Structure 1
Amino acid sequence: MKSILTPPQIQFSGTNPSIKWVNDKMKPFIARPILILIIPWVVYPLLDLASTYYFKLDSSGIPFALITTLIGFCCSCIYFFWLFPSAFYSKRPLIVIALSLVTISFLSVLKYFLFLLVGIEPHPPLDFAAYEFMRQWVFIAITFTFWGFYALIKALQEKRKTDASFDRLRIVHNKAQLSPHFTLNLIGDISAKSLKYSPELFEDLNHFITILRYAYIDTEKFNSLSSEVEAILSYLHGQKLRFQGAIIIRDKIDRDLLHYEELYMPKLLLITLLENVFKHGVFQDPKYPVLIEAKMIYCKNSIPILHFSTQNKFNEGLKLAKSEFGIETVRNLLDYFFENATLTTNVTQDTFSLNLTLPYEKPKQTWPNR
C-alpha cells in the first residue's frame, strides 16, 4: 500500500482529459504570455478600488494608483521574461539577474520622481526604499505563481509535441516498411505468379507498387486520406494473396474515399489499426468474419467526418510481448493532429471492435507544416 505522502502519478499526455482541458483553455495565453500578467494587474486595482469604496478607506488618489500599477506591471514583466527564466534555465544567469535588479531599482527611482511630478508627497527616501523593497517581494510572489503555471503548461505542450514526434518515429522504425516478413511473402507470391502473364498478375503488381510507393512516403510530408485508403486496400489485397484467399473479410470501405486528396492523414495511422486485426485476431473463421468499414459523412455545418471501424475475433491463445506500440500510440497521434477525434474500443467474450470518428474541421488542413 502506497504511503499518503507519495504523490500520485500524473499522466501528462494529451489523453488526460483534465490536463487537456487546461491546455486547451490556456492556448491563447501561452501564445501571448503578456496576457497572463495583464490578468493580475487588472484584477488588483479593481479589487483595491472596490475595497476602498466599500470600507470607506483613505485613498491616495487615482494618480497614485495608476503609477503604482504601471510600475508594478513593468516589474512583473522583468521578473516574468528575464529574471525567472534566466535563474532556472540559463547556464550563466548572473548577468541577466544583475541587469534585472538594476532595472527594478531604476523603476523604483522613476516611481519616486513620478510621484513628485504629479504632486504626490512620497515618504522620505529611506522609508520609500524600505516600502518598495517589501512591495517587490509581493510582486515576486505573485509573478512567480503565474510564471510557474505558465512554465508548467508550456512544458506540457512541448511534451505533447515530443511524444507525437517520438510516436511518428516509432511508426517509421517499428511499423514502417509494413513488416519485412509480410513484404517478402508478398514479393514471393507475385514472383511465382509472374511465370504466367494474366490480368490478375497485372492487378497484383499494381497493388505491390502501391504499397512500395506508400512505404517510401516521408512521414514529415503531406500524406492524403486517399493515399491511406489506397494503401489499406492494397494491404488487404496482399493479405488475401498471402493466404490464398483463405481469410474471411467483409469489406465495407467506401471507394469514394480515394478521391479525398486534400484531406490529411498521418502516415500508417489507419493501417496500424488494421494491421492489429491480423496481428492479434482470428481472420479465417467463417463464423467470425473480419468487418472493416470506412466512410465519410457530413454533419449539418458541412464538416466531413471520417468513420473507421473494425471488428474481429481475437486470438486468446496468442501471447505477444508488449511493445507499447499500438492503439495508445495512435491515440497520442490523434490527440495531437485531430483534437476532436474519438477512438473507442470494446471487448466482448471473444470479439474485439474498434471505432474511430475523425472530423475534418477545415477543408485543407496541413498539420505537418503547422
Structure 2
Amino acid sequence: MSNSLFSYQGATPDALLFFKYLLIELGYALIFMSCFYGSYLFIAPQFFVRKKYFVGLVATVLCLGFIIALRYTLEYGFFLPVLGFDNYRGNIWPAKRYISNIVFYYFPGYFMYGMAYFFAENWYCNSRRHQELQKEKLATELAFLRSQVNPHFLFNTINDIYALTYQKSDMAPEALLKLSVMLRYMLREGNEDFMPLNREVEYLENAIALQRIGAKGQAYINFTQEGYIGEQPVASLLFIAFVENAFKHGVWNDPEHPVGIYLHADNLGVIFNVRNRKNNGLKDSTGGIGLSNVQRRLQLIYPDRHRLTVKDEAGFYEVNLILKQN
C-alpha cells in the first residue's frame, strides 16, 4: 500500500508497526464487509424476494450513507489521529469527491458480490427445498398407492377363511397362518420401497395357496420360476396386482386353461408374465384400482427401467412386465 508506506516512511519495522498495519487492514475490511452484507442482507431481499422496490431503494441509500459515515469515521477519527495513517497525503477531499469515490469505487464491486451471493444461496436453498418436497411427495404417493394394492384379495380371503371355519375344515388353520404371514409382510416389511425378490415370490406363493384353498382345490394355477430368485431388490408388493387381477377378472377353475404365472430373474433384470382366460361375464381391463396403481408406481420407481405390455385378446388377457437392473 503506497499511501501507508508514505505515512510510515522512515519507520522502523517492528511489532507496533505490524499492529498498525493490521488495524488498518481490518478497518478497510469492515468497510468492504458492510458493502457486501448490506447488499446481501438488506437490499437484495427487498428487490428480488419481497418485491418492495421503494424499500429496496431506501435500503440502498441508507447502506451508502452508513458506509460513507463509517469510512469517514475510520479514516479521520481513528487512522489519522491514532495510527498516524494519512490515506490522502495531507490533502482533504471535498465532500463531492469523497462520496463519489465510495459510490463508484468501493460500493459497486462488493455490492455485486453480495447480490451474486444472495442469488446463489437463494437458488441453492430453493433447489434443495424443491428436491425435499419432491421426495416427500413421492414417498407419500408411493405409500398411498401401496396401501391400495390388494384390498379385494384380502377381503375375499377373509370371507373364504370364515367359510372354512364355519364348515370346521382342516384347511382353516393353514389358510389363517398364510394370511397372517401375508399381513405381517404387508404391514411391516412391505412398507419398504424395495424388498428382496425371494420375499416377493414367497408372498405370491402364499397368495396363490390361499386362492386354491378358497376354491376348494378347483383353482388351476401354474407358477413357473426360472433363473436366480435371490436377494436382488424389487419394488415391494409390485407383482401381486397382476395376479389379483387374474383371479378377480379371469377364469381360474378351468383345468384346460390354467392361469399362467411366469417369473424369470437374472443379473439383467426380471421378467414377469401373467396370462389368463377371460371371464365372459366380467370385463377384464386395466381400469381397476390395483393395476392403475401399479402402473403409476412403475412410473415413479422405474421411470426409465421398465416395460409393461398388455395383450387384450378375444379370449385371453396377458400382462408382461420387464424390470431392468440399474
Spell out the pairing of 1:186-335 with structure 2 (5 A cutoff).
Answer: 186-189=161-164, 192=167, 194=169, 205-217=173-185, 219=187, 221=189, 224-254=196-226, 257=229, 262-285=231-254, 288-299=257-268, 305-315=269-279, 317-318=281-282, 325-335=289-299
User: Residue 139 of structure 2 corresponds to which residue in structure 1?
Assistant: 161
Contact 1:346 1:352 in 2 (8 A): yes
Q: Deviation digits for residues 156-194 of structure 1, max 9, x if unmatched?
A: 4432222112223334xxx35942232221342366363
Matched-pair contact (CA < 8 Å) for 2:272–2:321: yes
Q: What is the CA distance between 1:147 and its match in structure 2?
A: 6.9
Give the root-mean-square deviation of aligned CA atoms: 5.2
Give distance in 2, aligned partners of 1:164 and 1:328. Answer: 13
Indicate if the aligned counterparts of 2:164 and 2:171 stay in contact, CA closer than 8 A: no
Q: Which residue of 1 aligns with 2:154?
A: 179
Q: TM-score, normalised by structure 1?
A: 0.49
CA–CA distance in structure 1, aligned partners of residues 303 and 284 of structure 2: 31
Task: Give the drift of 1:279.
Answer: 1.6
Q: CA deviation at 1:271?
A: 1.7
Match of 1:9 in 2: none
**Equivalent position of 2:77 in the other structure:** none
Contact 1:247 1:284 in 2 (8 A): yes
3-state SS in 1 of match to 2:148: helix
- The structure with the larger Rg is 2
Q: 1:355 aligns with which of 310, 313, 320?
A: 320
Q: How does 1:99-114 map to 2 (within 5 A)?
A: none
User: 5+ residue gaps in structure 2?
Assistant: 1-33, 72-99
Specify whether residues 137 and 270 from structure 1 end up closer, same or farther in structure 2 by C-alpha distance, changes over 3 A only: same
Identity of aligned residues (%): 19
Whole-Å Cα distance in 1 between the matches of residues 101 and 237 of structure 2?
70
User: Comparing 279-288 with 267-276, which one deviates more in the overlay?
Assistant: 279-288
Aligned residues: 252
The answer on whether the counterparts of 2:278 and 2:284 sit within 8 Å (CA) in structure 1 is no
TM-score scaled by structure 2? 0.55
Over residues 66-108 of structure 1, what are the superposed CA-to-partner deviations in whole Å (9 max), with x where a residue is unaligned? xxxxx999999979xx9999869xxxxx9xx99xx89xx69x9
Q: Contact 1:344–1:354 (CA<8 Å) still a contact in 2?
A: yes
**Matches of 2:254 and 2:173, distance apart in 1:** 28
Distance change >3 Å, CA 76–CA 262, structure 1 → 2: farther
Q: In structure 2, the residue corresponding to 1:326 is in which secondary structure?
A: helix
Are 1:177 and 1:215, in contact at CA under 8 Å, matched by a contact in 2?
no
Give deviations 1:315-334, integer Å, cap 9, x for gaps.
Answer: 46425999862223223434
